[in-house]
């Protein structure tokens, strides 16, 4: 709320209090300040909404009450109605976060320039100067500036920003690469197929922009009630006037019908719940997101960094004729010189186990397959099937183990010494301990459709989904595919929440009714595209938020029902002339206090106590021993 609006509300409150205490001062009733400063903006908004949107909402109902009160000289009653309405609007706006756009930050992820082959040699040019057919050189550590085909060289490319894959993808001649992905090692020459607005990254940006533009605002519960309260109040007031020929009774009915407590019913509950969520590390950007998360029946999860830890770990060691320590020692000795994520996983395990890592000589990288070196006068190879096959080394029993682990979405690091395979380390991204418990709780809370959306391969997706208790899996999904799945569920009249942490999730996060971002290690773009941000990596907070949303809706409904019941009783009293305008205003105040006290119940941690999430132990693979 702008500063002048806060000042206007403050002056209005003072005017109402002075009017109640002193009445008129020098012939001027201070309550007129509230009518002018709070009432006039409400009436203006009501007229605009009626004219432009043809919609009956709470503004229209309050406008009728203000005009009715002023028409019979009850300025204090009109002022009291206007001030309570303005307070309710202020409370609602307090729950709305800044709608910062993620689009500028997405554009900043692209490289500024590219190295292009020209007649005079390699030249550095701006991305805007690239055309389809250009040959682009990409060095280690650089982002790929085009969608294209590798025509020379090999490299491991981190595509996680675009696809969410947990492992870098080995690229070689003939493979497709995408703009914005990161070359981890090796040098590649790429023939540009798509540049500028035609690239996959540009399509992702457009999807985010379109989803933000088309995301329709949700009608408040109060406004849905107002759609029938407005005609009902007018009809009843008219009938009473016709029956009694008493304009004061008719006008009193219009005043009493004004939903002062209803105006506070939703924002007080939402503010209390948003405060509760904030204390538990959950940032809810607006009240509408809280209302919608309480209605969610479909939950879509990203995998890497969301259901999983987003970090590779060694999950098992198999050996042939030796022991785990020797396999780890040889692997760590060679991997210590590599910056590959697989190497980092090996070195972390070696560090945890206190392995003394020796130096190697004649170190050599085989791009796309592994590493070679000499240790204790012996040739050591550490890498994938391709590396050992090129050296003519038989895998023996490791072949069956490796095939089993690869089918489960894991990666094998083979170790060979002096031409013989001695063992293998298996590496994968571990599921978060609380993931399966979260899925179980979501089903208990009424979320009957839970699916996994990931850019990773089918094996890795099924492996994690099975541990989490998710049966519906969509693997190898690009950002536009994730967006399409969200739209598919929405077209089935499902209320959809999407949980993700990466740039590739941004279109789906914005397209869903509620987007939930993992904020601790997730990208800022995902956090800005989402409606709710988890400030930690604890996915159990998702079930907590759904339960909190459901409880908030329950409290809002209680407030609306109680307020309506009291208003109905007041209307009956007004019909028989027992209740006048000032008494009606006092009933408004008493009901408003009751509503606020009921909403305050959401501030405590009752939700947390009733929403403990069982955890699952991260699965540690036990490879067969040779």
- Which residues are catalytic, by number? 302
CA pair distance 533, 527, nearest whole angstrom: 6
Give the CA distances from residue 160 to residues 25, 183, 209, 523, in Å, rounded to whole numbers and listed in that order: 70, 12, 21, 11
Helix (H/G/I), strand (E/B), else coil: 238: helix
CB 429, CB 312: distance < 8 Å: yes
Count Cβ atoms within 10 A of the Cβ of residue 11 and give its class: 0-12 exposed, 13-18 middle, 19 or more buried: middle
Closest CA to 413 of 508, 339, 334, 509: 334
Residues of 563-579 as b/e, b for ≥16 C-beta within 10 angstroms? bbebbeebbebbbeeeb
Enumerate residues 6+ apart whose C-beta is below 8 A from 422.
319, 320, 321, 322, 326, 327, 330, 415, 416
Enumerate residues 6+ apart whose C-beta is below 8 A from 377.
none
Residues of 521-537 as b/e, b for ≥16 C-beta within 10 angstroms? ebbebbbbbbbbbbbeb
Query: What does DSSP assign to residue 601?
Result: G
CA pair distance 45, 180, nearest whole angstrom: 45
CB 474, CB 276: distance < 8 Å: no
Count Cβ atoms within 10 A of the Cβ of residue 121 and give its class: 0-12 exposed, 13-18 middle, 19 or more buried: exposed
Neighbouring C-beta atoms of residue 596, cutoff 10 Å = 18
């Amino acid at each position: 709320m702008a500063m002048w609006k806060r000042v206007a509300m403050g002056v209005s409150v003072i005017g109402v209090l002075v009017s109640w205490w002193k009445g008129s001062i020098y012939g001027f009733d201070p309550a007129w300040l509230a009518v002018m400063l709070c009432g006039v903006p409400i009436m203006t908004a009501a007229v605009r909404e009626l004219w432009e949107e043809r919609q009956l909402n709470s503004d229209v109902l309050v406008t009728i009450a203000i005009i009715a009160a002023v028409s019979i000289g009850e300025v204090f009653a009109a002022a009291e109605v206007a001030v309570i309405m303005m307070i309710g609007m202020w409370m609602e706006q307090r729950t709305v976060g800044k709608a910062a756009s993620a689009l500028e930050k997405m554009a900043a992820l692209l490289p500024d320039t590219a190295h292009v082959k020209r007649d005079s040699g390699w030249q550095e040019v701006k991305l805007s100067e690239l055309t389809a057919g250009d040959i682009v050189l990409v060095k280690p550590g650089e982002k790929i500036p085009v969608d294209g085909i590798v025509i020379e060289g090999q490299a491991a490319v981190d595509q996680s920003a675009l696809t969410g894959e947990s492992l870098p993808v080995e690229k070689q001649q003939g493979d497709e690469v995408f703009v914005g992905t990161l070359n981890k090692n090796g040098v590649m020459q790429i023939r540009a197929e798509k540049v500028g607005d035609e690239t996959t990254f540009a399509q992702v940006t457009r999807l985010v922009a379109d989803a933000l533009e088309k995301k329709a605002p949700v009608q408040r519960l109060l406004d849905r009630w107002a759609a029938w309260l407005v005609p009902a109040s007018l009809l009843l007031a008219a009938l009473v006037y016709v029956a009694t020929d008493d304009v004061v009774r008719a006008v009193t009915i219009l005043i009493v019908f004004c939903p002062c407590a209803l105006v506070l019913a939703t924002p007080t509950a939402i503010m209390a719940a948003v405060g509760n969520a904030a204390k538990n590390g959950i940032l809810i950007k607006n009240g509408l997101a809280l209302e919608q998360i309480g209605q969610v029946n479909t939950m879509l999860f990203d995998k890497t960094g969301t259901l999983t830890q987003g970090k590779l770990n060694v999950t098992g060691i198999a050996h042939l004729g030796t022991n785990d320590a020797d396999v780890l020692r040889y692997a760590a000795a060679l991997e210590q010189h590599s910056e590959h994520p697989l190497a980092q996983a090996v070195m972390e395990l070696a560090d945890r186990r206190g392995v003394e890592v020796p130096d190697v000589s004649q170190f050599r990288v085989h791009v796309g397959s592994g590493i070679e070196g000499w240790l204790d006068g012996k040739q050591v190879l550490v890498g994938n099937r391709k590396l050992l096959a090129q050296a003519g080394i038989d895998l023996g029993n490791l072949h069956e183990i490796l095939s089993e682990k690869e089918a489960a979405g894991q990666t094998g690091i083979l170790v060979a010494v002096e031409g013989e395979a001695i063992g293998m380390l298996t590496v994968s991204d571990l599921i978060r301990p609380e993931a399966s418990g979260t899925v179980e709780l979501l089903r208990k809370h009424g979320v009957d459709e839970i699916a996994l959306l990931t850019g990773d391969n089918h094996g890795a997706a099924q492996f994690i989904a099975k541990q989490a208790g998710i049966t519906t899996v969509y693997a190898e999904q690009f950002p536009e595919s994730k967006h399409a799945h969200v739209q598919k569920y929405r077209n089935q009249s499902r209320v959809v929440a999407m949980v993700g942490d990466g740039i590739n999730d941004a279109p789906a996060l914005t397209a869903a009714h509620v987007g939930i971002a993992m904020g601790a290690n997730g990208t800022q773009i995902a956090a800005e595209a989402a409606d709710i941000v988890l400030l930690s990596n604890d996915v159990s907070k998702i079930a907590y938020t759904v339960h909190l949303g459901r409880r908030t809706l329950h409290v809002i409904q209680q407030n609306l029902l109680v307020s309506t019941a009291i208003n109905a009783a007041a209307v009956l009293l007004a019909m028989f002339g027992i209740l006048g305008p000032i008494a009606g205003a006092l009933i408004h105040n008493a009901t408003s206090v009751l509503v606020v006290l009921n909403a305050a119940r959401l501030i405590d941690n009752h939700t947390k106590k009733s929403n403990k999430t069982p955890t699952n132990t991260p699965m540690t693979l036990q490879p067969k021993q040779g």
